[in-house]
Amino acid sequence: MATDYILSLRDVAVGYGRLVVLPDVNLRLAQGAFIGLLGANGSGKSTLIKTIAGIIPPLSGQIQFQSGNHKTPILGYVPQRESLDASFLLSAFEVALMGVCGRVGPGRMIPAAEREHVKQCLHQAECDDFAHQRFSELSGGQRQRVLIARALAAHPQFLLLDEPTAGIDAAATQSIMELLRKIREQQGITILMVNHDLPMVRRYVEEVIWLRNGTIVQGPASELLSREKIEELLEISWL
């Protein structure tokens, strides 16, 4: 059976201005897969995921999305944990509501149906108990759940997460990973996730993309997260 791909990158260079971080990216991501994006600090993980998300433009090459209806799939993006000071007055619900703004349009009143959808996304992300608390007062794990709910509010087919479990405790990490697993299984969403926790990644992802010295190694998690392969990669270039 032929594999359906949601994303192809061909001869893509990513970076900022004249700074090339990854000079020649060639990838294909399978529809509905859970994929881990791994690499040392400074290897280009965040730059690559921001390029795929459309936040920064590619320096060259072709990025092609595909979906079942031949339209560009809707992307949901969860950034690295946002740092907001105490003056940030929005509630968790209001932060999640931002996820529908691209569909509703800027400056327009958000319909009741969309607000109800956001409530359902918060419920799915298990944010009911703190949905009306100030976002800036939430714990790191709670904030990440709200940001996931915000991404889900866009009805995404492809979810991009940049270190969603960084800086939070083990229990919150486990809970967020289980949430992502359920989202993937129940909705068939393709997930690309940056994460440094190799034991945790090994438990959940099917495929791995390693970034190493400007090059890419892609393959099944069963192969690239084996003890022998990790030791090989570490011996070559990893701390």
- Residue 175's CATH number: 3.40.50.300
Q: What would the pLDDT profile of 184-200 be if each residue is shown by its tens digit?
A: 999 999 999 999 888 88
84 in a structural domain: no
The residue to which tokens 């900022």 are assigned: 16
CA distances to 1, 46, 153, 164, 238 from 78, rounded to whole Å, are 32, 11, 12, 7, 26
Q: What would the pLDDT profile of 60-83 be if each residue is shown by its tens digit?
A: 999 999 865 546 678 999 998 665
68 in the same domain as 179: yes
24 vs 107, more confident? 24
Domain count, the chain: 2
pLDDT at 109: 81
51 vs 214, more confident? 51
Q: Average pLDDT, stretch 82-90?
A: 64
111 in a structural domain: yes
Q: Average pLDDT, stretch 203-229?
A: 90
DSSP 153: T
150 in the same domain as 174: no
Q: Average pLDDT, stretch 87-91?
A: 78
- DSSP class per residue in 65-121: E--TTSSPPPEEEE-SPP---TT---BHHHHHHGGGHHHH-TTSPPPHHHHHHHHHH
69 in the same domain as 164: yes
21 in a structural domain: yes
Q: Average pLDDT, stretch 134-157?
A: 93
Banded model confidence at residue 84, pLDDT cuts 50, 70, 90: low
Q: Is the pLDDT of residue 231 over 70?
A: yes
128 in a structural domain: yes
215 in the same domain as 163: yes
- Specify which residues 158 forms β-bridges with: 75, 190
Residue 151 belongs to what domain range? 89-156
Banded model confidence at residue 107, pLDDT cuts 50, 70, 90: low
Q: What would the pLDDT profile of 148-189 be if each residue is shown by its tens digit?
A: 999 999 999 999 999 999 888 899 999 999 999 999 999 999
105 in the same domain as 57: no
- Which of these three, 105, 134, 156, is where a domain ends? 156
- Which of these three, 156, 173, 200, is where a domain ends? 156
Q: Is the pLDDT of residue 48 over 90?
A: yes
Portion of the chain with pLDDT greater than 90, in percent: 65
80 in a structural domain: no
142 in a structural domain: yes
CA distances to 98, 120, 199 from 108, rounded to whole Å, are 12, 21, 45
138 in the same domain as 66: no
233 in the same domain as 164: yes
97 in the same domain as 5: no
Angle at 20 between CA 224 and CA 77, to 5 degrees: 60
Banded model confidence at residue 238, pLDDT cuts 50, 70, 90: very low
Query: Residue 11: left (phi > 0), alpha (psi -120 to 50), or beta?
Result: left
Q: Is the pLDDT of residue 103 over 90?
A: no
194 in a structural domain: yes
88 vs 71, more confident? 88
37 in the same domain as 11: yes
Mean pLDDT score of the chain = 88
- Which of these three, 136, 156, 176, is where a domain ends? 156
81 in a structural domain: no
Single pTM value for the model: 0.89
